[in-house]
Chain A
Amino acid sequence: MKFLVCISNVPDTTTKITFTPDNKEFNKAGVQFVINPWDEYALTRAIELKEAQGGGTVTVLNVGEADTEPNIRKALAIGADDAIRVNAHPKDAFFVAQQIASIAKDGGYDAILMGKESIDYNGFQVHGMVGELLGIPTVAPAMKLDMSGNTATLEREIEGGKEIVEVNTPFVASCQQPMCEPRIPNMRGIMTARTKPLKVVEPTADAARTEVAEYALPPKKQGVKLIPAESAGELIKLLRNEAKVI
């Protein structure tokens, strides 16, 4: 079974978000980047399934410039076999999806896995675009993934419940918890990751379809209005008469 796992490089989850003075770009200064937490579910599950089957490969794919390589190496340390980096700034979901589809097209992958969205752009878009470009099913977002031969059984989250879906390979799935417990690299993994192949390829010339004109921070809160615990019931009156939310 050949897995292709797409990972993106995102600011650490505790990062305070700021922008460049023209508000057109995220300010990367002093920010630590991590593997997108949703993608870690995809990566770990692919490794678990490969181990359970006693064979196969897990290839990691990232669309990004050279500064994403530490996190690609981390994915290799967690247990992926090899990696591909498409050497480009990920302009938008459409651009990224075309790069992934172009790599996947002739790669013979049985499953293309990724996180449900990235925690920076929150698009929830790339998986569907890749599925459509390749003409294969997409299951999004998936909370469980099991494989038996060429059939995958997935649990897809729907509002208020879940669906059990069976699809044949190849397919695309976007992953989320509680699919698995993401792994942390161990020392042996870190040592072997250094020698695993990381191929750098140039992007196809596809353009983007969207452009961020400007970023903005939400308006600052006015500050908390504290109500003494002994007269807690007053809060309910304020929520009705002042905030008008009940």
Chain B
Amino acid sequence: MSVLVVVECDGGEVKKSSLEVASYGSQVAQMLGTTATAVAVGEATEANLAKLGEQGISKVLYDAEPRLKDFVNGAYTKLIAAAAQKEESKVIVLANSNIGASVGSRLSMRLQASLATNVVELPKTDGGSFVVKRGAFSGKAFADVKLDGERKIIAVKKNSIEALHEAGKTAQVESFSAQLSDADFADAPKQVIMQDQAGGILLPEADKVVSGGRGMKGPENWHLIEELAKALGAATACSKPVSDVDWRPHHEHVGQTGITVSPNLYIACGISGAIQHLAGVNSSKVIVVINKDPEAPFFKAADYGIVGDVFDVLPKLTQAVKELN
């Protein structure tokens, strides 16, 4: 009857968002008076999986089938469903990532479960009801959603739950096979292409983001964004007009129709703050806006602001970070 947590791994490491999900799942297990089991997908090492004990996981199921290294919707869905059956799980928790949410929606039909994605808080379970808070209207609102039925699936938004770290606790790693057949790999990728990330920080996982807009005047000035991002250990991003004119690649575009981010720190440089851009970033914990136009609407959503020229301000910020370190 344990809570099942889906843990995504990459290059042997457990993803940061999955450490958050594991912490969420183990806290739900505690609320329900049971334990949390993880099922790992992707390329993992036994040592890293055992460390999930620090997030309160007691057991990890791992299928070492090599074709599971890359995301395959059909196979992942079958594997997780089999783990849920083995553990008789009534609650399944996964990341609100492209993998987690894709699998979660198929699983909800297969397991006859109710599903909430984009969840930002631990559930309220008073009086037998099960209510989760989720983001809605592109970050402009929240909805408390009641999940009906015996089984529930929760996809947790990145950076919304603090990961637990109980040093020294380990989880027991068990090998697990879902008896996957070739048919389960019908939608396996023919090729996986990873993008170069500035400084190796992945934007959807980043807890600090430095972002540039049209005020940066051209791609040749992006080194100013990159230098500040590097000093801070942040990912880089951009607004929609910037990716539309190909100054920056699409995968850096944050906003309503781009990537939604919720880092601890979002620094917007030369971005006026159109409502569609805000929708993609307004759940960031602290927003800093740098713009030479004091009337830029983004200042209304900001915690800190500098009215000034980005070409003058950015080098000063980079210098100040270097001095601090």
Contacts and interface: CB of A to CB of B under 8 A. Distances in A.
Contacts of A243: 265, 286, 303-304
Nearest to A138: B73
Interface stretch (A47-55, A79-87, A223-231): A223-231
B12 interface: no
A10 to B, nearest CB: 9
A11 B316 CA distance: 41
A122 interface: yes
A159 B136 contact: no
Contacts of A169: none
B145 A137 contact: no
B264 interface: yes
B interface, how many residues as a size bin?
Answer: 35 or more
Contact of B141 (A17, A165, A168, A240): A17
A232 B144 contact: no
Nearest to B200: A160
A154 B320 CA distance: 45
B105 A165 contact: no
B167 interface: no
B45 interface: no
A238 B317 CA distance: 12
Given A210-B116, A238-B304, A176 B108 contact: no
A110 interface: no
B250 A178 contact: yes
A242 B231 CA distance: 19
Given A94-B115, A161-B195, A122 B105 contact: no
A80 B232 CA distance: 49
A141 B102 CA distance: 8
B299 A224 contact: yes
A203 interface: no
A137 B288 CA distance: 42
Contact of B117 (A123, A137, A245): A123
Nearest to A229: B308
A202 interface: no
A235 B193 contact: no
B106 A232 contact: no
Q: Which of A119, A133, A236, A238 has the most CB of B within 10 A?
A: A236
Contacts of A163: 70-71, 189, 191-193
Contacts of B85: none
A158 B98 contact: yes
A214 B145 CA distance: 7
B309 A229 contact: yes
A167 B186 contact: yes
Interface residues of A, number: 78
B302 interface: yes
Contacts of B219: none
Contact of A245 (B285, B301, B306): B285
A165 B146 CA distance: 35
B71 A158 contact: yes
A126 interface: yes
Contacts of B98: 140-141, 156-159
A188 interface: no
B19 interface: no
Contacts of B299: 224
Contacts of B109: 97, 128-129, 132-133
Interface in A112-128: 119-128
Nearest to B298: A224
Contacts of B10: 160
A156 to B, nearest CB: 7
Contacts of B304: 224-227, 235, 238-239, 243
B276 A239 contact: no
A119 B324 contact: no
B135 interface: yes
Contact of A235 (B73, B135, B300, B317): B317
A20 B12 CA distance: 49
Q: Which of A212, A213, A239, A243 has the most CB of B within 10 A?
A: A239
Interface of B: 10, 15, 70-71, 73-74, 77, 96-99, 101-106, 108-110, 113-118, 131, 135-149, 186-195, 197, 202, 204-205, 208, 232, 250-251, 253, 256-258, 264-265, 275-276, 279, 282-283, 285-286, 288-289, 299-309, 312-313, 316-317, 319-321, 323-324
6 contacts: A13-B279, A93-B105, A140-B102, A163-B193, A215-B144, A225-B305
Q: Which 6 A-B pairs have the closest CB atoms?
A: A128-B105, A229-B308, A233-B320, A163-B189, A132-B109, A161-B194
Given A38-B257, A131-B106, 11 more contacts: A124-B117, A125-B104, A128-B106, A138-B102, A140-B102, A156-B189, A162-B195, A177-B257, A218-B282, A229-B307, A243-B303
